Amino acid sequence: MEIHDLGLMDYQETWDYQESLFQKILQQKSKNSKEKLQYETPNFFLFVEHPHVYTLGKSGHIENLLISEKKLAEINASFYKINRGGDITYHGPGQIVGYPILDLENFFTDIHKYMRMLEEMIILTLAEYGLKAERSKGETGVWLDVGTPFARKICAMGVRASRWVTMHGFALNVNTDLGYFDHMIPCGIRGKAVTSLNVELGKTEINLAEVKERLLKHFLILFEAAIKEKTEA
C-alpha cells in the first residue's frame, strides 16, 4: 500500500492524479489477464485537502446546489460534475479527504463491504475522540445521533469502481467551515444537519495529522494491509 499525503491540492489536479493511478492499476490487470501474468497490482491511499469546491455525483441533482455561478465566485468556490456515486458534496480546508485507489481483488470483491469498511474506519477513529458515530439506514456516510431530531452527518462518502478498482472515497469534517454547507442540500437529503469534529469537541482546531494517523491505523487493520511507501507534500 502506497500512502501519499498531497497537502492542499486543487480538485481537478487531484482528480487527474487519481485517474492516472486508477488507469495504472487497470492497465496492469488487463496485461495480467491477456498475457496470463501474475504481477501484483499496486494499491494507493491518498490524503488531501481541497480549496472550496462543490462536486455533484452522477446520480445527483443540480438543484441541490443552492447558489448561482456568480455567488460561487464570490465565496471563492468552484463546482464539478464527477463520475462517483452519490449526490452533492462540499470539500474545503480543514476537511480530511481520503481517496483509496485499490484493486479490491487484492482484498475482497464486494463493493458494499468496501463501503461498510470505510465507514467502520471513520467510526473507530471518532470513537478515539469519545464520539459515538454510526451508520444511518439507507444513507451512506457516518452520522451522529441517528434516529433523533439532532441527527447530523460528519463524514460523506462516494466511490467509483470499475473491474474491482476503486477511486474517490470519503470526506471527514474536522476543522471545516460549516457555513459552506448552507449553499447546498448535503448529499441531496433535505432537513439533515452537518457537523465537524472540532464543533463536537468544542475546540477551535483539531490536529489534522493526528486524525490522519488514526484513520490510517484503522484502515490498515481493517484491510489487513501494510505500508509499502509513504510520501508527504
Q: Is 187 left (phi over 0), alpha (psi -120 to 50) or beta?
A: left
Closest CA to 194 of 125, 135, 144, 231: 144
Spatial neighbors of 187 by CB under 8 A, at least 6 apart, are: 86, 87, 88, 89, 139, 140, 141, 153, 156
The CA–CA distances, whole Å, from 114 to 39, 57, 198, 216 equal 23, 18, 27, 15
Label residues 147-159 b or e (16+ Cβ within 10 Å = b). Answer: eeeebbbbbbbbb
Q: Which of 56, 82, 142, 187 is catalytic?
A: 187
Q: Is 155 a catalytic residue?
A: no
Q: How far apart (Å, rounded) are the C-alpha atoms in residues 142 and 119? A: 6
Question: And the C-alpha cell for 154?
Answer: 460528519
Strand partners, 158: 169
Q: In residues, how long is the chain? A: 233
Q: How far apart (Å, rounded) are the C-alpha atoms in residues 122 and 205? A: 18
Closest CA to 125 of 220, 45, 205, 194: 220
Catalytic residue numbers read: 187
